[in-house]
A and B are shown apart, each in its own frame.
Chain A
Amino acid sequence: MTFNFDVFWAALTSWVFFEAALISLALALLSHASAIAISMPLALGLDSRRKAVRIAIRLYVGVFRAIPTLLWLLFFWNALPQFSPVFRENWYTPFIAAWIALTVNEAAYQVEINRAALNSVDKGQTSAATAFGFTPWQVFRLVTLPQAARVALPPTVNEFITLLKATSLASVISLQELMTVTNQAVASSFQFQEYYAVAALYYLIIVGLLTLIQSRAEHQFDWTVERSARRGWLGRAKEQSQ
């Protein structure tokens, strides 16, 4: 059996596959964004003075890390509607269910990354800000957060890549993402090589672009290079100031 390039090319440039790839990417982006938003207070809570808060967060992290992502997806799509009629209405689509499942799952992983990053910020950095009269929120926003972001970036991008690939699991709840569309194309044609190659290429392109953005971002975070010598996001050297 030979590789049919025409089938491959037609699929690669088709709207169906492109849209499916967009759905995968959007799901990963949304899930990760909301996971980070949830994990931030959780990370701060892990160092809370209240023991009950620490235990509750540990419990959350323990439960959500132990149970497979696939099970969470099935649970939120199939089981949740049994709890409340709210989840039997039209708004509750496979996309929403997958978003919730991946968010709560990912937040459990992101907590430890955020906590390590927040704790890596030198105490002297925050006490200097406090000494100049910054409010606690300003200390966090202007000093702790940007310094922690630098530490958190590489492991967070790693998490994102894992998460992007985990969106393929949402094929079990019939979300029309990349793997679902691929499986449907294969099922009716048996042209495994061609369609798998298309899916693989889409994942490669997305992760490749992401890696590029990561290295640009790390360059922006490099605080040992003179600012005027650093490159802008588009790769061109910025004009010398003054």
Chain B
Amino acid sequence: MSTAPLARAAASTETPRIAVQNLKKSFGRLPVLHGVSLSAPQGSVISLVGSSGSGKSTLLRCINLLEVPDSGDIQIDGETLHFDPAKPSGGVQPRQIRRIRSSLGMVFQSFNLWSHMTILENVIAAPVHVLGQPRSQAVERAHDLLKRVGIAEKHDFFPAQLSGGQQQRAAIARAMAIEPKALLLDEPTSALDPELVAEVLQVIKDLAVAGTTMILVTHEMRFAREVSSTVVFLHRGVVGEMGPPAQIFDAPQTEACRRFVRSEFGA
């Protein structure tokens, strides 16, 4: 297995596509994120790993603002959102939240394709209704994207008629249709039958090679190692360790990370 990450190494002088500073989030009295900071330069692939309950999915949902952080800063392509714990919704306007959301492509564990729309309608929905693109232009781009993820002939089918792997590939096409500044993937292969995992990972790998900035929550350690430029090990709501895959998987610095890697690779 190659240890060289497929994604381009980050040039540190550029404005990062996504930067998170000292992000905190609790659900009621249960703290989930205790001050997380990370940065995703353009073209980077960041994998979030860690045991369940470490806050990986919450972090991803906070970046997309599906969860409103209690405090901290999120910077998307230079636009900074500061969350003030004293104000409702952190003091961020709904309009700004929607603009940020429409610039990030989200891929869910359980696909969440809209079941009453055909695959094509799913892919054009956000470009047409949120970005205000003309329908014909959105349709044209949707066909290209569906071809790219290998399900061009399924455009007129409903999600329920597709296999899980095909649905997730359609969901990735839907997320790419808004020409996102970054793609956020929340355990994209966890709900799939084992034989369907590879086809979805291949699509994600192709996007990484093409330079798509991605933040990925995953349990597929071998894949994370192969595709990531940076691996972030989350442990009890903080960044336990962060670095290139070779460091995290071969020479972890902390005991918690060492134990996690050992349990994941079963050696």
Name A residues whose Cβ lies closer than 8 Å to a Cβ of B. Answer: 122, 124-125, 127-135, 138, 142-143, 146-147, 150, 221, 223-228, 241
Contacts and interface: CB of A to CB of B under 8 A. Distances in A.
Interface centre among A122, A128, A142, A221 (most CB of B within 10 A): A128
Interface of B: 64, 66, 98-103, 106, 108, 110, 112-116, 118, 125-126, 129-130, 156-161, 174, 178
A241 B139 CA distance: 14
B105 to A, nearest CB: 8
Contacts of B156: 226-228, 241
Contacts of B115: 122, 125, 147, 223
B160 A224 contact: yes
Contact of B66 (A131, A138, A228): A131
A4 B184 CA distance: 76
B112 A127 contact: yes
A131 B157 CA distance: 23
Given A124-B112, A228-B156, 18 more contacts: A125-B114, A128-B114, A129-B114, A129-B125, A132-B106, A132-B178, A133-B98, A133-B99, A133-B101, A133-B130, A138-B130, A142-B129, A143-B116, A147-B116, A221-B116, A224-B158, A225-B161, A226-B158
A133 B106 CA distance: 11
A138 B101 contact: no
A interface SS class: helix
B130 to A, nearest CB: 4
A123 to B, nearest CB: 9
Given A133-B99, A147-B116, A226-B156, A128 B130 contact: no
A146 B129 contact: no
10 shortest interchain CB distances as A-B pairs: A133-B102, A128-B112, A132-B126, A124-B112, A133-B101, A131-B106, A223-B158, A133-B98, A133-B130, A224-B160
Contacts of B129: 134, 138, 142
A223 B130 contact: no
Contacts of A150: 116
Interface centre among B125, B160, B161, B178 (most CB of A within 10 A): B125
19 contacts: A122-B115, A124-B110, A128-B106, A128-B108, A129-B114, A129-B125, A131-B101, A131-B108, A133-B99, A133-B102, A133-B126, A142-B129, A221-B116, A223-B160, A226-B156, A226-B157, A226-B161, A227-B157, A241-B156
Nearest to B100: A133
Contacts of A227: 118, 156-158
Contacts of B160: 223-224
Nearest to A224: B160
A130 B101 contact: yes
A221 B115 CA distance: 11
Interface centre among B106, B112, B118, B158 (most CB of A within 10 A): B112
A48 to B, nearest CB: 18
A75 B64 CA distance: 55
Contact of A224 (B98, B110, B130, B161): B161
Nearest to A149: B116
Given A224-B161, A226-B156, A132 B118 contact: no
A135 B98 contact: yes
Contacts of B102: 132-133
Interface centre among B110, B156, B160, B178 (most CB of A within 10 A): B156
Given A125-B112, A227-B118, A132 B125 contact: yes
Contact of A132 (B101, B157, B158, B159): B101
Contacts of A224: 158, 160-161
B87 to A, nearest CB: 19
Contacts of A122: 112, 115
Contacts of B118: 227
